[in-house]
Structure 1
Amino acid sequence: MSIVFRTPIICVLLFFLTQFINAQNITLNRVEPPNWWIGMENTKLQLLVYGENISETKPIITYDGVTINSVTKLESNNYLFIDLTILNNTKEGVFDIIFTSNNGKELVYKYDLKSKKERNNSNQTVNASDVIYLITPDRFSNGDPTNDSTDDTLEKIDRSNKDGRHGGDIKGIINHLDYIQNLGITTLWLNPFLENDQPKYSYHGYGISDFYKTDSRFGGNKDFKDLVDLSHQKGMKIIMDQVFNHCGSGHWWMNDLPSENWLNQWETFTRSNFTNIAASDPHVSKSDYNLFTRGWFDTNLPDLNLDNLFLATYLIQNSIWWIEYSNLDGIRMDTYPYPDKKVMAKWIQTIKTEFPNFYIVAETWEAKASSLSYWNNGGVNNDGYNSYVNSVCDYPLYYSMLKAFGEENNIYKIYETLAEDFLYGDAFNNKIFNGNHDVGRLFTLLNEDVDKLKLSMAFILTTRGIPQLYYGDELLFDGDKPDGQLRKDFPGGWKSDKRNAFTKKGRTIQENDTYNYISTILHWRKNAKEIHTGKLKHFQPIENIYVYFRYTVTESTMVIINNSKNDINKYSLERYKESLVGYTSGMDIITNTKLSSLKTVNLKANKALIIKLSN
Structure 2
Amino acid sequence: MQTLYKVISIVVFFFFLTPNGHSQDIAVNRVEPPSWWVGMENSNLQLLVHGTNISRTVPTIDYPGIAIKSTVTLESPNYLFVNLDIGKTTKAGTFLIRFQGDKGSVVYDYELKTKRNSKHVGPSIDASDVMYLITPDRFSNGDTLNDSTDDTLENVDRANLDGRHGGDIKGIMDHLAYIEELGVTTLWLNPFLENDQPKYSYHGYGISDFYKTDPRFGTNDDFLDLVEKCHDKGIKMVMDQVFNHCGAGHWWMEDLPSKDWLNQWDDFTRTSYTNISISDPYKSNTDLDLHTKGWFDRNLPDLNQNNKYLSTYLIQNSIWWIEYADLDGIRMDTYPYPDKDVMATWGRTIEEEYPNFYLVAETSEEQAASLSYWNRDELNKDGYRSNINSLSDYPLYYAMVRAFGKDNDTYRLYEALAYDFLYSTPFSHKIFNGNHDVARVFHQLDKNKDKVKLSMAFMLTTRGIPQIYYGDEILLDGNKPDGLLRRDFPGGWKSDDRNAFSRDGRSKDENEVFDYVSTILKWRKNATEIHKGNLVHYKPIEDVYVYFRYLEDRSTMVIINNSEKDHSTYDLGRFQESLDGFSKGTDILTGEVMGSVGSITLPKHTAKIIQLTN
Task: Answer whether contact 1:390 1:425 (CA < 8 A) is retained.
Answer: no
Query: Hey, what does 2:204 align to over in structure 1?
Result: 205
What is the distance in 1 between the residues matched to 2:391 and 2:364?
9
Aligned-residue offset at 1:68: 0.3
1:505 match: secondary structure: helix
What is the distance in 1 between the residues matched to 2:447 and 2:273?
30
Query: Hey, what does 1:111 align to over in structure 2?
Result: 110
What is the distance in 2 between the residues matched to 1:584 and 1:17?
92
Query: Hey, what does 1:47 align to over in structure 2?
Result: 47
Aligned-residue offset at 1:120: 5.4
Query: Hey, what does 1:375 align to over in structure 2?
Result: 374
Aligned-residue offset at 1:597: 1.0
What is the distance in 1 between the residues matched to 2:296 and 2:303?
11
Query: Hey, what does 1:9 align to over in structure 2?
Result: none
Superposed CA deviations along residues 399-440 of structure 1, whole A, max 9, x for unmatched, are 010000001101001101100000000110000000000000
2:574 match: secondary structure: helix
1:46 match: secondary structure: strand
Is 1:26 the counterpart of 2:26? The answer is yes
Query: Hey, what does 1:134 align to over in structure 2?
Result: 133
Aligned-residue offset at 1:253: 0.3
What is the distance in 1 between the residues matched to 2:341 and 2:24?
43
Is 1:91 the counterpart of 2:105? The answer is no
Is 1:390 the counterpart of 2:389? The answer is yes
2:524 counterpart letter in structure 1: R
2:580 match: secondary structure: coil
What is the distance in 1 between the residues matched to 2:344 and 2:248?
26
Matches within 5 A, 1:319-398: 319-398=318-397
Aligned-residue offset at 1:91: 1.1
Superposed CA deviations along residues 372-400 of structure 1, whole A, max 9, x for unmatched, are 00000222000000111120000000001
Matches within 5 A, 1:579-594: 579-594=578-593
Task: Answer whether contact 2:26 2:105 (CA < 8 A) is retained.
Answer: no
Aligned-residue offset at 1:146: 0.5
1:546 counterpart letter in structure 2: Y
Is 1:533 the counterpart of 2:539? The answer is no
What is the distance in 1 between the residues matched to 2:17 and 2:238?
54
Aligned-residue offset at 1:24: 4.0
Superposed CA deviations along residues 320-367 of structure 1, whole A, max 9, x for unmatched, are 000000000000000001000000000011011110011000000000
Is 1:60 the counterpart of 2:60? The answer is yes
Aligned-residue offset at 1:123: 5.8
Task: Answer whether contact 1:379 1:388 (CA < 8 A) is retained.
Answer: no
Task: Answer whether contact 2:187 2:237 (CA < 8 A) is retained.
Answer: yes
What is the distance in 2 between the residues matched to 1:117 and 1:415?
43
Task: Answer whether contact 2:361 2:391 (CA < 8 A) is retained.
Answer: yes
Percent of matched pairs sharing the same residue = 63
What is the distance in 1 between the residues matched to 2:409 and 2:177?
37
What is the distance in 1 between the residues matched to 2:484 and 2:561?
32
2:312 match: secondary structure: helix
Matches within 5 A, 1:294-305: 294-305=293-304
2:50 counterpart letter in structure 1: Y
What is the distance in 1 between the residues matched to 2:208 and 2:146?
18
2:289 match: secondary structure: helix
Task: Answer whether contact 1:331 1:361 (CA < 8 A) is retained.
Answer: yes
What is the distance in 1 between the residues matched to 2:53 and 2:362?
39
Aligned-residue offset at 1:122: 2.6
RMSD over equivalenced CA pairs, Å: 1.0
Structure-2-length-normalised TM-score: 0.97
Superposed CA deviations along residues 91-118 of structure 1, whole A, max 9, x for unmatched, are 1110000011111x11110000111111
Task: Answer whether contact 1:23 1:102 (CA < 8 A) is retained.
Answer: no
Structure-1-length-normalised TM-score: 0.96
Is 1:451 the counterpart of 2:461? The answer is no
1:321 match: secondary structure: helix
What is the distance in 2 between the residues matched to 1:128 and 1:92?
37
Matches within 5 A, 1:545-564: 545-564=544-563
Query: Hey, what does 1:101 align to over in structure 2?
Result: 101
2:245 counterpart letter in structure 1: H
Superposed CA deviations along residues 247-299 of structure 1, whole A, max 9, x for unmatched, are 00000000110000000000000000000001111110110000000000000
Query: Hey, what does 1:72 align to over in structure 2?
Result: 72
What is the distance in 2 between the residues matched to 1:71 and 1:378?
37
Task: Answer whether contact 1:562 1:607 (CA < 8 A) is retained.
Answer: yes
2:257 counterpart letter in structure 1: P
Aligned-residue offset at 1:498: 1.1
Task: Answer whether contact 2:66 2:87 (CA < 8 A) is retained.
Answer: yes
Query: Hey, what does 1:290 align to over in structure 2?
Result: 289
Structure 1 residues 124, 500: CA separation in 2 closer, same or farther (over 3 Å shift)? farther
What is the distance in 2 between the residues matched to 1:22 and 1:182?
66
Aligned-residue offset at 1:309: 0.1
Task: Answer whether contact 2:72 2:81 (CA < 8 A) is retained.
Answer: yes
2:252 match: secondary structure: coil
Query: Hey, what does 2:514 align to over in structure 1?
Result: 515
Query: Hey, what does 2:10 align to over in structure 1?
Result: none
What is the distance in 1 between the residues matched to 2:94 and 2:17?
36
Query: Hey, what does 2:260 align to over in structure 1?
Result: 261
Structure 1 residues 81, 456: CA separation in 2 closer, same or farther (over 3 Å shift)? same
What is the distance in 2 between the residues matched to 1:74 and 1:423?
44
Task: Answer whether contact 1:369 1:396 (CA < 8 A) is retained.
Answer: yes
What is the distance in 2 between the residues matched to 1:124 and 1:546?
31
Q: Give the gaps of 5 or more residues in structure 2.
A: 1-15
2:540 match: secondary structure: strand
Structure 1 residues 454, 421: CA separation in 2 closer, same or farther (over 3 Å shift)? same
What is the distance in 1 between the residues matched to 2:32 and 2:378?
34
Superposed CA deviations along residues 532-587 of structure 1, whole A, max 9, x for unmatched, are 00000000000110000000001000000001001001110000000001100000
What is the distance in 1 between the residues matched to 2:225 and 2:475?
30
Number of equivalenced pairs: 599
Task: Answer whether contact 2:18 2:24 (CA < 8 A) is retained.
Answer: no
Task: Answer whether contact 1:23 1:101 (CA < 8 A) is retained.
Answer: no
Structure 1 residues 22, 180: CA separation in 2 closer, same or farther (over 3 Å shift)? farther
Task: Answer whether contact 1:22 1:53 (CA < 8 A) is retained.
Answer: no
Query: Hey, what does 1:402 align to over in structure 2?
Result: 401
What is the distance in 2 between the residues matched to 1:419 and 1:359?
25
Matches within 5 A, 1:561-576: 561-576=560-575
Is 1:490 the counterpart of 2:504? The answer is no
What is the distance in 2 between the residues matched to 1:560 and 1:122?
35
Aligned-residue offset at 1:27: 1.4
Superposed CA deviations along residues 427-470 of structure 1, whole A, max 9, x for unmatched, are 10000000000000000010000110000000000000000000
